[in-house]
């Protein structure tokens, strides 16, 4: 048996398969090809995606 690195995960928004050219890294941001939502890699074994947090324009105090 060989363990292959996972290069696909499911979009939490539309359930489409999101594929990676190479094994994703933790906290990597990817865009779903189906719904164009921005996703963050939250775990890598297995690969799990979650919607990336919105970036606030004026985050400072």
What three-state secondary structure class fits 43?
Answer: strand
Beta bridge partners of residue 44, listed in sequence order: 47
The stretch near Zn ion (CB under 5 A) out of 9-17, 23-31, 40-48, 49-57 is 9-17
Q: Does 13 bind Zn ion (CB under 5 A)?
A: yes
Q: Does 17 bind Zn ion (CB under 5 A)?
A: no
**Which residues of the chain form beta strands (DSSP E)?**
8-10, 17-19, 29-31, 38-44, 47-51
Q: Does 35 bind Zn ion (CB under 5 A)?
A: yes
Q: In the complex, which residues of this chain contact Zn ion (CB under 5 A)?
A: 11, 13-14, 16, 32, 34-35
């Amino acid at each position: 048996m060989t363990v292959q690195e996972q290069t696909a995960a499911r979009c939490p928004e539309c359930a489409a398969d999101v594929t990676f050219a190479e094994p994703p890294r933790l906290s990597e941001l990817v865009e779903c090809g189906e719904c164009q939502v921005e996703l963050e890699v939250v775990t890598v074994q297995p690969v799990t995606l979650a919607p990336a947090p919105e970036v606030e324009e004026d985050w400072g105090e």
